[in-house]
């Protein structure tokens, strides 16, 4: 009995990890993008690598967390509002971790040039753009991944079903809107 429970737990962990892959990957890409911008601006290699890791890792973990919240029905598919709230908290914390890590690696005594509250408010404003971009990428990448792993992953199979239902709902709404305007759907 204990071996069966341990097997179920490990498969549950694997299923959750697989479902988290798209969000994790998007977060890593965010860190790599920040590093590429820094490299283009002429920042030293050590600094750009630190930025890639210090921003990419928290964004990746938060992205994975988003996927798990969607998989476990805590956040609805494709809804901007909950994603914006999620990143309203997550993005400023990731940026704060990035700033502290960069300061520590570079040996700087000064972490922030402005008061903490100003930094967090500004990052919260930026988080809306990140949330929209994250959601846009997630909605284009994740369903393909979930389709690929649905045969052996029940969480992914559930997500595929929910995406199909979501698409059906969107199609019905578009058809109603088209008919309401007197246009024939194409």
Residue 85 belongs to a domain: yes
Residue 75 belongs to a domain: yes
Residue 125 belongs to a domain: yes
Residue 4 belongs to a domain: no
Q: Hey, which bits of the chain come out as E strands?
A: none
CA distance 122 to 125: 5
Residue 112: give the domain boundaries: 15-177
Mean pLDDT of the region 88-104: 96
Question: How many domains in the chain?
Answer: 1
Q: With left for phi above 0 and alpha for psi between -120 and 50, is residue 110 left, alpha or beta?
A: beta
- pTM reported for the whole predicted model: 0.85
DSSP 183: P
Of the chain, the percentage scoring pLDDT greater than 70 comes to: 90
Residue 163 belongs to a domain: yes
What tens digit of pLDDT does each residue of 8-45 get? 566 789 999 999 999 999 999 999 999 999 999 999 99
CA distance 162 to 171: 14
Residue 185 belongs to a domain: no
Residue closest to 63 by CA, chosen among 141, 124, 6: 141
What tens digit of pLDDT does each residue of 120-146 get? 999 999 999 999 999 999 999 999 999
Q: Return all residues near 28 (Cβ < 8 A) that are at least 6 apart.
A: 56, 57, 59, 60
Q: With left for phi above 0 and alpha for psi between -120 and 50, is residue 182 left, alpha or beta?
A: left
């Amino acid at each position: 009995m204990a071996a069966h429970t341990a097997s179920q737990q490990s498969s549950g962990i694997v299923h959750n990890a697989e479902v988290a892959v798209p969000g994790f990957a998007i977060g890593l890409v965010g860190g790599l993008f920040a590093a590429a911008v820094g490299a283009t601006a002429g920042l030293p290699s050590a600094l750009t690598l630190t930025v890639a890791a210090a921003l990419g890792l928290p964004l990746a973990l938060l992205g994975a967390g988003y996927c798990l919240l969607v998989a476990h029905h805590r956040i609805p598919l494709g809804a901007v509002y909950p994603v914006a709230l999620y990143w309203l908290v997550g993005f400023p914390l990731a940026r704060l971790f990035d700033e502290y890590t960069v300061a520590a690696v570079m040996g700087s005594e000064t972490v922030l040039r402005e008061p903490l509250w100003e930094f967090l408010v500004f990052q919260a404003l930026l988080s809306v753009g990140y949330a929209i971009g994250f959601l846009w990428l997630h909605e284009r990448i994740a369903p393909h991944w979930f389709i690929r792993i649905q045969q052996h992953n029940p969480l992914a199979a559930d997500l595929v079903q929910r995406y199909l239902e979501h698409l059906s709902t969107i199609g019905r709404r578009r058809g109603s809107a088209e008919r309401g305007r007197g246009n024939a759907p194409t």
